[in-house]
Amino acid sequence: MMQGTMLDLLVAGDKARAAITAPDRDPLSYAALDALARDVADQLNRLGIGPGDRVAIVLPNGPEMATAFVSIAATATAAPLNPAYRAEEFEFYLSDLKPRALVVMKDDPSPSRAVAAQHGIAVIDLVPDRAAGAGSFALDPGGFPAPREARTDLPRPQDIALVLHTSGTTSRPKIVPLSMANLAASARNIGGTLSLSQADICLNVMPLFHIHGLIAAVLSSLAAGASIHCTPGFNAHAFPGCLETARPTWYTAVPTMHQMILGRAERNAEKYAAAGLRFIRSSSASLPPQVMQGLENAFGCPVIEAYGMTEATHQMTSNPLPPAARKAGSVGRAAGPEVAIMDETGTLLPGGSIGEIVIRGGNVTQGYAGNPTANATAFTNGWFRTGDQGRFDAEGYLYLVGRLKEIINRGGEKIGPLEVDNALMDHPAVAQVVAFAIPHDVLGEEVAAAVVLREGATATERELRDFAATRLAAFKVPRRILFLAEIPKGATGKLQRIGLAKTLGIESKA
């Protein structure tokens, strides 16, 4: 591969081995992926696109999304976007990113096309080659304007390979630029943590516009010379079939996906037990200890909980593989960057102290794009402030208390919603729970919880409140419990605590 590109930094695979697989498709070898990336680089360079130029990608989940990301990020700056966005959302993201081009699946009537046209952004059609290996495609630039000159410069490790927006739950989303060196460091960190090798096959069910799927599934596998089986997306009903056809050695997902998989364990007991997974990985939100134990019982393999965020190119800490200890309720030990606990004044705190989790290292972004105000707040003495609150135990395992913005302030008493979640999850009728703040005219905020019951189970609000009272201090017991068929989630499957009261129509009360 061309010296200095992302694939040159990452891909370690035997050229004849499968890099990408997908349902009903022939595998794409490492040699074919290398050739595809070279071809994409040549085409983009001829269009005047190269290092530092952003290329927005709006593609459905699947092998073409994986190969397009890798190929474009090896040449320019990939900017994946959720293909389910509405026109108004594309208007924000495309105007904020100001990409040189937009890559869309041929014949896809995505509203991103019209928005791109309004902003003078050239559209490049991606044409899948379904007769070739999974993820093979050609680019059709159509009416792309002729450049003044072709690009000939090669990317360097410090060049930006990927940009993603923060979630923007409580503020305007910020652009996170991640360099080729950031991506390489994180992929290798994950591969080292999980002892990935050429023998591994990752079943990817995560959306590939999200850092979790892009780095933990795709790039960590490529860095280890392993294979990625790219599904069209997560489907709990189809999951057992994927295990049978792909024969993966592991999969990675967010807790809500794991909970849906576990919810179907009884009817798929034989398939789960026969899957032969080496391990299961969980990240992007806290995994209830009860779900971890249930998965381990169902699949007969360890569940490895990790802790990640976009600004760290995903992974920050992780529980280790056996025979080292993995601790339920913990997100493990530092697994790549340095990790510490800091107080509000910028002082690093000793082990056992609760404070803000801070990180620094080769996989951490150098700062938000074009946002000096946010950067002044986000960095202290070279440490990036994650916005999460936590503590280390005596053995260096990190425990999350919650997002600082999600901490419930009940008349000055601070309540970590994760503690409430875990207490209610111990009830045998509870399948899923998310604690959150509701407005209160006197106290400011009060504790509430949204609960999904197990199939066929029953429970009353009073019963669950009484149960919580045996495990929590009185001021932490939810004053209100709502029973839902499904808890609202974000586009990546993560539970959304902030703003949940508004979403559910709960108003202030005294």
DSSP character for 147?
P
10: nearest Cα among 196, 134, 163, 137: 196
Helix (H, G, I), strand (E, B) or coil at 172: coil
The residues pairing with 18 across neighbouring beta strands, listed in sequence order, are 29
- Whether residues 171 and 64 share a domain: the answer is yes
Give the tokens for residue 218: 């795709």
- Domain end residue (candidates: 178, 202, 224): 178
85 CB-near residues (< 8 Å, 6+ apart) = 58, 93, 111, 112
140 CB-near residues (< 8 Å, 6+ apart) = 106, 124, 125, 126, 127
User: How many domains does the chain divide into?
Assistant: 3
Within a domain: residue 172?
A: yes
- Burial class (CB within 10 angstroms; exposed 0-12, middle 13-18, buried 19+) of 163: buried
Within a domain: residue 226?
A: no
- Burial class (CB within 10 angstroms; exposed 0-12, middle 13-18, buried 19+) of 243: buried
Q: Which uninterrupted H or E stretch holds 461?
A: helix 461-469
128 CB-near residues (< 8 Å, 6+ apart) = 64, 105, 106, 136, 137
83: nearest Cα among 109, 110, 122: 110
- Whether residues 272 and 165 share a domain: the answer is no
CATH of the domain at 90: 3.40.50.980
- Angstrom distance (rounded) from CA 208 to CA 466: 42
Helix (H, G, I), strand (E, B) or coil at 422: helix
Helix (H, G, I), strand (E, B) or coil at 384: strand
Within a domain: residue 509?
A: no
Within a domain: residue 203?
A: no
- Whether residues 442 and 395 share a domain: the answer is no
Give the tokens for residue 140: 């059709």
- Cβ atoms of 437 and 404 within 8 Å: the answer is no
- Cβ atoms of 115 and 92 within 8 Å: the answer is no
Within a domain: residue 285?
A: yes
CATH of the domain at 291: 3.40.50.12780
Pairing type for strands 314-318 and 303-309 reads: antiparallel
- pTM (two decimals): 0.86
- Angstrom distance (rounded) from CA 495 to CA 434: 7
- Burial class (CB within 10 angstroms; exposed 0-12, middle 13-18, buried 19+) of 91: middle
Angle at 38 between CA 33 and CA 43, to 5 degrees: 125
215: nearest Cα among 232, 191, 247, 237: 191
- Whether residues 257 and 370 share a domain: the answer is yes
In the prediction, which pLDDT does 442 show? 81
- Whether residues 132 and 42 share a domain: the answer is yes
The C-alpha R_g of the chain, in whole angstroms, comes to 23
- Whether residues 319 and 386 share a domain: the answer is yes
CATH of the domain at 420: 3.30.300.30
Pairing type for strands 227-230 and 250-253 reads: unpaired
201: nearest Cα among 228, 231, 236, 230: 228
- Whether residues 383 and 423 share a domain: the answer is no
Within a domain: residue 286?
A: yes
- Whether residues 374 and 419 share a domain: the answer is no
pLDDT < 50 positions in the chain: 1-4, 9-10
Within a domain: residue 11?
A: no
In the prediction, which pLDDT does 490 show? 74
- Whether residues 433 and 496 share a domain: the answer is yes
Q: How high does pLDDT run on average in the chain?
A: 92
- Whether residues 385 and 414 share a domain: the answer is no
In the prediction, which pLDDT does 3 show? 40
- Cβ atoms of 231 and 203 within 8 Å: the answer is yes
- Whether residues 365 and 428 share a domain: the answer is no
The residues pairing with 56 across neighbouring beta strands, listed in sequence order, are 79, 102
| Portion of the chain with pLDDT greater than 70, in percent | 96
Residue span of the structural domain in which 85 resides = 23-178
Amino acid at 221: S
- Domain end residue (candidates: 141, 163, 178): 178
In the prediction, which pLDDT does 508 show? 65
Q: How many residues does the chain have?
A: 510
Q: What is the 3-state secondary structure (H, E, C) of 158-175?
A: CCEEEEEECCCCCCCCCE
In the prediction, which pLDDT does 473 show? 86
Within a domain: residue 305?
A: yes
- Whether residues 255 and 162 share a domain: the answer is no
- Domain end residue (candidates: 362, 383, 403): 403
Give the tokens for residue 90: 């594309």
482: nearest Cα among 455, 464, 457, 499: 464
